[in-house]
Structures are given as structure tokens and as C-alpha cells.
Amino acid sequence: MLLETTASVDQEVNPWESAAHRFDEAAELLGLDDGMRKVLKRPAMELSVNFPVVLDDGRIEVFTGYRVQHSIARGPAKGGIRFAPDVSLDEVRALAAWMTWKCAVVNIPFGGGKGGVICEPHLLSDGELERITRRYTAEISEFIGPERDVPAPDVNTNEQTMAWIMDTYSMHQRHTVTAVVTGKPLELGGSRGRPEATGRGCMFVSIQALRKLGLPVEGARVVIQGFGNVGGMAARLMSRAGFRIVCIVEWDGAVYNPRGLDIEALTKYRSETGSVRGFPGAGDMDKDEALLLDCDILIPAARENVITSSNADRINAKILCEGANGPTTFVADSILAEKKVFVIPDILANAGGVTVSYFEWVQDRQGYFWTEERVNEELEEIMVASFDAVTHYAERHSVNNRTAAYMLALDRVANAIRRRGLYA
């Protein structure tokens, strides 16, 4: 474990280093041969595009976008597209690999991919965002498709973004292709339950973890970082289910009430004021301190590198449920293990989103749409079965949950590649 003791800060926070480190550890424990390691480690395809867009004031700006397909061994590449100023190729690579492992953990027939565009979405108008999305789609359109690579929403992208991608791709094909993206609006072939799916999945695995630790769901104290696609939905669903959401942590501050926050009221307050800060009926708190609160479940549901060597030893949660991708660095992993925090790793905890994306893709291809009850029931079945598979694997092989999830996933993908054989 050389990197664990000597990792530089750069190595620790580079998502690709984190992904590679965890891959190496799982591959070693599985006894994967050298050739297979080489195949699985590097992304199968990396596309980088620079494209011009006319801004509202008439200026031309050139944007950089990526689409990485890490693996298509088990099916089409699958994974979201994020818009953010700090998107990098290394980040998209790591996220693409995590999608491969995530789809394998929940055993849905997809490989892994990810995309990103370097931009500052909050400073762009809707028209500018639409032009960026459409031009980026045109640039990557030869590489995506229902059988090839199926994008979805991620950080700062949403149903509307997916509608633009679907429309642009369809215009190029000269017919409507709904299954080219998931996370679409309902009226364009979206699935019921998709917007809530990642948060709902976090809730299902949190319930399983509480049961495993012999703790009650009713009144379980939850701290959630992020109040968007994942964190906002998890907060809403979990507070309705009897959890006590004691703290919401956002990029500009946190609000805390040990008796539990009124999430509906907080949602309304945030949409009116643009911030959670100053919410009546709760105290404001420092956002870094908030992650260290004594609680039953901590759900980081924002970005990477939130739990690092600088705060892991002060985490006071019994359960860490990773709603975001890569919120914990590999150095922090071993600190959390020593503290006996029960970790539900990202590739399991946040797999509810891609699982319902799979349902959406199936529904689009069949042209037959499910009820929300059916979506939620089938999601629960998959999340609970995957949680059991990972935790039993961990117990059987005396490894932590994250390593177990990686080992299970690597083994499934490696088996698919062995069965297919290499074409040469």
C-alpha cells in the first residue's frame, strides 16, 4: 500500500488516481492476470472536442468537451454528462470507469461512459446552454446511440439538457430516437420515477445498512451534503419515510436543526432565496464543520474529494452513504475503515439513477411505459439484492464494502471479456 502512506495531495484528489488505486487493489485480491488488468484499466475510447458557440452578445467562444467510453464489454457505454468549469479529462475518465463498475455491481447490461463540457452553467443563459448542448451533441453524435453509448444527466445537466440531446441526435438520424439518452422529460419517453431514482436508491441502501447495524429507521439522524438532483431528492424521500434530516450542507453554508429540518419548507425557502442559509427554524453552520456532525448517516451528494485525509478521522457518522461519485479519497478509505464507519460505496449507493435509466432505455425500446409503482418496486429489488451481494462478498472475503463492490464488478466485467474472447 505504498500510495496510502506516501500519496501527495495531488495524487489523493485526482479522481483518476483514486479510481486506479482502487482498481489495482481489487485486481490484486482477485488475482486478475496482467493482460486483463491492462484491458480493464484504460478507457476503450476517449474523445476530446473543441467547438465554437455564439454567445448572446454576439461573441464567439470555443468550448472543450469530452466523451469517454471506458468499457462496452457488457453492453452500450452508459453514463452522464456534466457541465462545470473544472471538468477535466482525468475526471471524466475516472467517472467513466466508475460507471462500468457501477453497472456491473447492479448487474444491468451496460458498460461505462461519461461526458463533460468545461463551462460555467450559472453564468450562461438558457439559449447559450442550448447551443452548447446541441453543438456538443453534434460533435459526439457518431459515437453515441441506443446500441453504442447512452448519455444521461449529471452535475448541472437535467431533463431539458437531455431533451436537446435527443432532438439534435434525432435530427441527424432523420427520425426520432428516444433511447439515445435517459433522464428525459416524461413526454419525450422519460421514465416515471427517474428524477427521484438516485435519491430513492440512497434511501433503500441506507435502510439496509441501518438494519444490518441493528439501528432503527425512525428518527435516524441524517446529514446530507448537496441539495440538488441527488441530495435534494434523498432529503425529501427520507424525511417522508421517518428519517430525521438534521443538516443540509450546501456550497455556501449549512443549516442545522438537531430536531430535524422541515425539508418541504427548506426546498421552498431555497427556491425563493437561492440559498439554504438563514432558513428560519434552523441554525446556520460552517459547511466544513457540518460534515463532522455526530449522526447516523452522512450522505455526501455533491462532488468528489469531500472526505480526505484532512477530515476523515473526525467524521462522526456510523454510516457513510456515497450519493456523489468519488466523494471519498483512497487515503480517507483506510482512515474510515479504522474508525469502523460502515461505508456504502458510490458504485452501489448511487446506482439507483442508472438503474432507472436502464428501465427507461428498456421502455423506450419497447414503446411500453411502466407505472411508477413498478419502477420503484423493481428499483428496490435491485438495490436490496446488490447491497446484499456486496456485503456478503465483503464478509466472505474479509474485505471492506468498497473493495468488495470493486471485486464483484471487476470479476463480472472480466468474465464477460473472457467469454467474448479477443477479436484479432
Report the catalytic residues.
114
In terms of phi and psi (left: phi > 0; alpha: psi -120 to 50; beta: otherwise), the region of 78 is beta
- Give the residue carrying C-alpha cell 430513492: 200
Question: What's the rounded Cα separation, in Å, for the pair 315 and 338?
Answer: 12
Question: What's the rounded Cα separation, in Å, for the pair 184 and 182?
Answer: 5
DSSP H or E stretch at residue 233: helix 231-240
| Minimal distance, residue 156 CB to ligand GLU, in Å | 11
Q: Is 35 helix (H, G, I), strand (E, B) or coil?
A: helix
Comparing CB distances to ligand GLU, the nearer of 257 and 328 is: 328
| Minimal distance, residue 294 CB to ligand GLU, in Å | 29
Comparing CB distances to ligand GLU, the nearer of 152 and 210 is: 152
Which residues here bind ligand GLU, judged by CB under 6 A?
78-80, 152, 154, 182, 325, 350, 353-354, 357
Comparing CB distances to ligand GLU, the nearer of 232 and 353 is: 353
Query: Which residues sit opposite 320 in a β-bridge?
Result: 298, 343
Provide the pairing of β-strand 342-344 with 317-321: parallel
CA dihedral sign of residues 16, 205, 108, 37: positive
The DSSP output letter for 145 is B
Question: What's the rounded Cα separation, in Å, for the pair 164 and 254?
Answer: 34
| Minimal distance, residue 358 CB to ligand GLU, in Å | 8
Comparing CB distances to ligand GLU, the nearer of 139 and 360 is: 360
Comparing CB distances to ligand GLU, the nearer of 168 and 191 is: 191
Query: Which residues sit opposite 66 in a β-bridge?
Result: 48, 116
CA dihedral sign of residues 352, 64, 228, 94: positive
Question: What's the rounded Cα separation, in Å, for the pair 318 and 299?
Answer: 11
Q: What Rg do the C-alpha atoms of the chain give, in angstroms?
A: 21
Burial class (CB in 10 A: 0-12, 13-18, 19+), 94: buried
6-35: b (≥16 Cβ within 10 Å) or e: ebeeebbbbbbbbbbbbbbbbbeebebeee
Comparing CB distances to ligand GLU, the nearer of 327 and 353 is: 353
| Minimal distance, residue 41 CB to ligand GLU, in Å | 20
Is the Cβ–Cβ distance between 370 and 235 less than 8 Å? no
For the chain, give the number of residues. Answer: 424
Comparing CB distances to ligand GLU, the nearer of 202 and 341 is: 202
| Minimal distance, residue 80 CB to ligand GLU, in Å | 3
Is the Cβ–Cβ distance between 163 and 133 less than 8 Å? no
| Minimal distance, residue 406 CB to ligand GLU, in Å | 16
